[in-house]
Amino acid sequence: MLGEKYIFNVLKYVGDDLPQLTDRLQCLSNDIINLEDKKRNLLNELVLWNGQLYDLGRTIDIKNQQLKRMGK
């Protein structure tokens, strides 16, 4: 069984580090929130780009059909 003095020393060090660990955890939580926000923004941007690419593809198809009709 661990001695009372050993346990007291461990708890003392843990108590000293606890505020630092709490601060670090808060920073990491904020980083996660920021990264989730960036991810959401990038996904929204990707959806917009995808829509633009689809529209461009449709325009190209229409122009190709018009060119084929003009060539006949």
AA identity, residue 4: E
Tokens matching residue 54: 């689809």
Task: Give DSSP secondary structure letters for 15-72.
Answer: HHHHHHHHHHHHHHHHHHHHHHHHHHHHHHHHHHHHHHHHHHHHHHHHHHHHHHHHH-
Tens of each residue's pLDDT in the chain, 72 residues = 678 888 877 777 777 777 888 899 999 999 999 999 999 999 999 999 999 999 999 999 999 999 999 986
The model carries a pTM of 0.60
- Taking CA 51 as the corner, what is the angle to CA 49 and CA 53, rounded to the nearest 5 degrees? 70
Which tokens belong to 44? 């929204």
